[in-house]
Structure 1
Amino acid sequence: MPLDYHHQVTLLKDILTEQQADCCGTVAECEQIERLIKSLMVNAQIDQNVKSVLQNIYEYSQNGKSASELNQHITSQQQNLTQWIQDIDSFS
């Protein structure tokens, strides 16, 4: 059974919150973020502002997957992670 919009957004926020709190993550988490965002982006009911935030998070996860030091990448993105989590709260 596929996740509905609400569950996808909740899962995305949970992963980002964990990465922000722990300053670490895995390539698998980055791949999960990408899958969630791809699924959310095809939802025609999503506002363009939300799509912009999702695109930024998608780029973050892509850069994280290819980073030589993923944890350093996550640490360097703390401010963005905080903002994205707040943004997700505002549209979820």
Structure 2
Amino acid sequence: MPISQQDQLNLLKDILSNHQTDCCGSVSECEQLERLVKSLMVHPSLDQNAKAVLEEIYDYSQHGKNSTQLDNHIELHQQELSQWVNNINQFS
């Protein structure tokens, strides 16, 4: 059974928040972020601001899963992680 758009946004926020707080993560979390973003991008009600944020998160997760230093990648994006969570709160 598919999860609702709101549940997907909550899961997205949870993973991003964990990356920000813990300054570490896993390849599987990056892959989960990609799946969530792809699923959310197909919603016709999604506005352009939300799409732009989701594209940034997708790029972050792609670079993260391919990084040999994932924890460093996460540390370098601390400010963006915080901003993305704030943005998701505004359009969720």
Fold shared per TM-score above 0.5: yes
Residue identity over aligned pairs, in percent, reads 55
The two structures, once aligned, show a CA RMSD in angstroms of 0.4
In structure 2, the partner of 1:16 is 16
State the shift of 1:58 in Å: 0.3
Note the residue ranges of structure 1 that are not aligned, 5 or more in a row. none
Tell me, what secondary structure is at the counterpart of 2:24?
A: coil
State the shift of 1:16 in Å: 0.3
Paired residues for 1:1-92 under 5 Å? 1-92=1-92
Q: Say how many residue pairs are matched.
A: 92
Note the residue ranges of structure 2 that are not aligned, 5 or more in a row. none
Work out the CA distance in 1 between the residues paired with 2:69 and 2:56.
Answer: 20
For normalisation by structure 1, the TM-score amounts to 0.99
Work out the CA distance in 2 between the residues paired with 1:3 and 1:15.
Answer: 16
State the shift of 1:15 in Å: 0.3
Work out the CA distance in 2 between the residues paired with 1:84 and 1:8.
Answer: 14
Work out the CA distance in 1 between the residues paired with 2:86 and 2:63.
Answer: 21
Work out the CA distance in 2 between the residues paired with 1:51 and 1:89.
Answer: 14
State the shift of 1:57 in Å: 0.3
